[in-house]
Every structure is written in structure tokens, then in C-alpha cells.
Amino acid sequence: MGDGATWRTLAPGQRADLVVVRGRPDRTIGDTHKIELVIQRGRVLDRKALVFDEASDPGFREATPVSSSN
């Protein structure tokens, strides 16, 4: 894993970054929008206090089609 992430076990007393999702995002991609809880650096984030700022988080954008040179 080249992104610096480390996979370990989850156990009492350990810190973890987690996204808890309602549903089965492995089967239904739309379930990725059903986030119930986010834990970052061992702390539960208050999702209502999070504010989307498009300038600092551009998110997904429509891609420009790539033409084939064949």
C-alpha cells in the first residue's frame, strides 16, 4: 500500500481511522453516501459541524474524455 496506510486489528484501547457506513457499499455503490460515523485519529468527528468548502476540497469532477490515438 503506497499511500502510507497501515492495516492492523481493531481492539479496545487502540486508535483508528474508521468510516462506518449503513448498507453494503461493496454491493451497492450508492451506500457510500450512507455514512453513519467517522473516526479520525481516534476521535469521533461531529459531522454536523463539518462544512464543505469547494475551494479547499474540489472533490470529484467530470473528467475530460481521452481520445484514442489508434
Residue 18 has pLDDT above 60, yes or no: yes
pLDDT reading at 1 higher than 50: no
Q: CA 7, CA 1: separation in Å to the nearest integer?
A: 9
**Does pLDDT of 50 surpass 70?**
yes
What are the residue boundaries of the structural domains of the chain, listed by start? 18-47
Mean pLDDT of the chain: 78
The Cα–Cα gap between 56 and 53 comes to 6
E-assigned strands of the chain?
18-21, 35-40, 43-44
What pLDDT does residue 30 have? 92
The pTM of the full predicted model, rounded to 2 decimals, is 0.51
